[in-house]
Amino acid sequence: MSFVTPTLEQPLPELGTMWTFESPPLPYWKKRYDFVPRQQWLDHVRKSALRLPNCSASFVSATGLVLTNHHCARECAIDVSPADTDYMKTGFVAASPKAEKRCTKMWVDQLQSFEVITDRVISALPKSGTATRRNASRDSLTHAITSECEAASQLHCEVVSYYQGGAYSLYRFRRYTDVRLVMMPEKQIAAFGGDPDNFVYPRWALDFAILRVYENGIAVLPSDFLRWSPQGAGDGDATFTVGNPYSTERLLPLSRLEEERDVVYRMYADANDSAVAALREVSAAGPSKARALLEELSSTANEQKLMHGLRNALFDSVLMRRKTLFEKDLRGRVNADPELARAYGSAWDSIAVAVRQLGELEPLRFYYRSYPGQKLMNLAFSIVRVTQQASIPDSARMQDFHGSEIERMMSQLREEPPVDTAVERQVLRSLLQSGQRDLPADDSVIVAALHGESPDAASKRLVAHTEIATVEGRNALLNGGAAAVARSRDPFIALARIAEPRLRSHRARTAELQRVIAENQARIGAAAYAVYGRALPPDATFSLRISDGAVLGYKYNGTLAPWKTTFFGLYDRAASFDQRAPFDLPTRWNERRGQLDLSTPFDMVTTSDVVGGNSGSPVINRNGEIVGLAFDGNLEGLSSNFLVRPNAARAICVTSNAIIMSLRKVYEMNQLADELEGSASGH
């Protein structure tokens, strides 16, 4: 098969800079930054970088200190908080190593080595047969490779696929399971600005936490760790963000992007608008109700902002035109080569046909099972399905309902908290209103739910007569099994009984279309690799990447965003909102203001390419020193799952300066600050 010689630059800057350590773009870095790191630099950075179960992190001291985001350590803080103290509210400071708290659900992976195994995998896969057969062969092969690797190395091994199966690497990790919380600030300052400032810059969030890794009860002494920059970053400085981005879909064809924009994201954006409005209205009933709904409102508002940002990005004419040109170039190169054309040429048209059909099916699944904020319909469907599956032999059950899974699902349903019926009523009203628009007029579930009434009246009736909003009502049905569910007159259970057969056939058809799309997306990935080689950074796979960028402000809202914010700005923003939540500061931050150099940089932005999973990624300079900690992207960067906006997308980072300043002046942790800056030992 022929290959086009990779160019010096990426084929399209909008495809980002998530480079692998297997193939760092040294000529590109030389041209752009006049910087060519030695292999020793790359190995040192790779071994200093870490992966948490849900985030990124890094070793930052000779005594096993680990730097990550506050929101990455949040679950640990909640778990280790004593009954009379909430570390999310008070923050946590370990006065000594003995006071450090073990995070029982957390581990740390350190990439020890990697091996490119593309030839080994591809040569062993069948050259013909169905995609199902090829996928099964690949899964069996990669399982054998990882098992062999783990037996030989005593390390945790993973086979990582790039370019949708065009290239493969074997990663060997040292996994540390004794991880302890050393320090984290109050959530109030870590997430300063709350939802209004989420995905927004300028920003003032001190989103960091410090952990320590132990082995056999002794703090780990890593051979590689990132040292602290004595001065931090400056405007225009080259930076490298090292982390584990979850996933991207930058090779999705235009047909798929347009379907998601016009169908999926439209429905989700509208529904999240309704859910947020409902939560805010009910929260206004009083302080206790507002507290009870705070977390749900925050997460739903976050999803609302995300969905609108994604949809708006796909309406960006410049971005979509660039995507069109790239797709035209790739298809042109494929079709110009007979062998490539034969292998990959039909992939785009096959996807276009499948996504049109999938777009017709999406509304049913969305309104029946995925409508944001609605809980009673989901609970009803789960109760109907799990009791029905439990009543038949294991061999006859649907996938995901075998063995102990049934008991796990039932336990989960029993543990669900009571449903707030005031919120549910408003969300259900919106669901019925939008469902009338997007589903056929004779849709059996919508017709049965309305029962000739308006969406407002129907939602009130349905919620008023349900029993599954309570734990007791759900348990009665689960205890009674399929027979009790079949007899139930609960209106939501009745709707679920109507919908269940439709959902089952819909699920089968959707799975078939998604299989067609996935197979052809894999062909496009392989085609892109055949044409551009590693000049094209592969899509994210929650594997280690290094993304270059520069500390740089940008144009927004008719003005300019600076490369940094400062402590001055933090106090100004708090004062401008009269210290009302979510712009209020913890007590100690008000008390110790006079001890701070308010001109110190607080947060900053770089042009590094980040998505979810990059949270906790160290931001380093060309000396390999910590200058920042990535914790978010801006609104303009929400499109990065599909395409990057190089002129406006930014990674938002806590500065190294702000971390040290806060440790010394606010939290009075000079010993920990010295340990980070290399002048003290923690043990």
Q: Where are the domains of the chain?
A: 35-225, 254-517
Give 470's contacts (C-beta < 8 A, 6+ positions apart): 418
Q: What is the mean pLDDT of residues 324-334?
A: 94
CA 621 to chain centre: 25
Q: How confident is the model at residue 10 (pLDDT cuts 50, 70, 90)?
A: low
Q: What is the mean pLDDT of residues 202-228?
A: 98
Q: What is the mean pLDDT of residues 653-673?
A: 98
- What pLDDT is recorded for position 4? 38
Instruction: Determine the residue type at 516.
Output: V
CA distance 249 to 164: 10
**Torsion angle defined by CA atoms of residues 623, 627, 629 and 630, in that order, rounded to the nearest 10 degrees:** -80
- What pLDDT is recorded for position 5? 37
Task: Enter the tokens of residue 635.
Answer: 């609104």
Cβ(94)–Cβ(640) under 8 Å?
A: no
> With 70 as the cut, is the pLDDT of residue 353 above it?
yes
CATH topology of domain 35-225: Thrombin, subunit H (2.40.10)
CA distance 184 to 664: 14
Angle, nearest 10°, between helix axes 347-365 and 491-532? 160
Q: Which helix (H) or strand (E) holds 49?
A: strand 49-51
Mean per-residue pLDDT over the chain, rounded: 94
Instruction: Determine the residue type at 426.
Output: Q
- What pLDDT is recorded for position 14? 85
Q: What is the pLDDT of residues 276-322, one digit of tens each?
A: 999 999 999 988 888 888 888 888 998 999 999 999 989 999 889 98
Q: How confident is the model at residue 45 (pLDDT cuts 50, 70, 90)?
A: very high
CA distance 364 to 60: 50
DSSP 55: S
Give 258's contacts (C-beta < 8 A, 6+ positions apart): 314
Cβ(300)–Cβ(275) under 8 Å?
A: yes
Among 360, 331, 363, which Cα is nearest to 513's? 360
Query: Residue 262's beta-bridge partner residues?
Result: none
> With 60 as the cut, is the pLDDT of residue 354 above it?
yes
Instruction: Determine how many CB atoms are found less than 10 A away from the CB of residue 652.
Output: 25
pTM here is 0.90
- Reduce the DSSP state of residue 175 to 3 states and report it: strand
E-state strands within 524-668: 545-550, 554-556, 559-561, 564-566, 601-606, 618-620, 626-633, 651-655
- What pLDDT is recorded for position 2? 33
Among 613, 443, 667, which Cα is nearest to 50's? 613
Q: Which helix (H) or strand (E) holds 259?
A: helix 254-259
- What pLDDT is recorded for position 8? 36
Q: What is the pLDDT of residues 117-161, one digit of tens each?
A: 999 999 998 877 777 788 889 899 999 999 999 999 999 999 999
CA distance 226 to 296: 37
Q: Which helix (H) or strand (E) holds 51?
A: strand 49-51
- Reduce the DSSP state of residue 375 to 3 states and report it: coil
DSSP codes of every residue in 176-210: E-EEEEEEE--HHHHTTTHHHHTT-SS------EE
CA distance 157 to 148: 9
> With 70 as the cut, is the pLDDT of residue 3 above it?
no
Cβ(210)–Cβ(673) under 8 Å?
A: no
CA distance 356 to 592: 60
- Reduce the DSSP state of residue 650 to 3 states and report it: coil
CA distance 283 to 295: 11
- What pLDDT is recorded for position 129? 73
| Cis omega (within 30 of 0) for bond into 82 | no
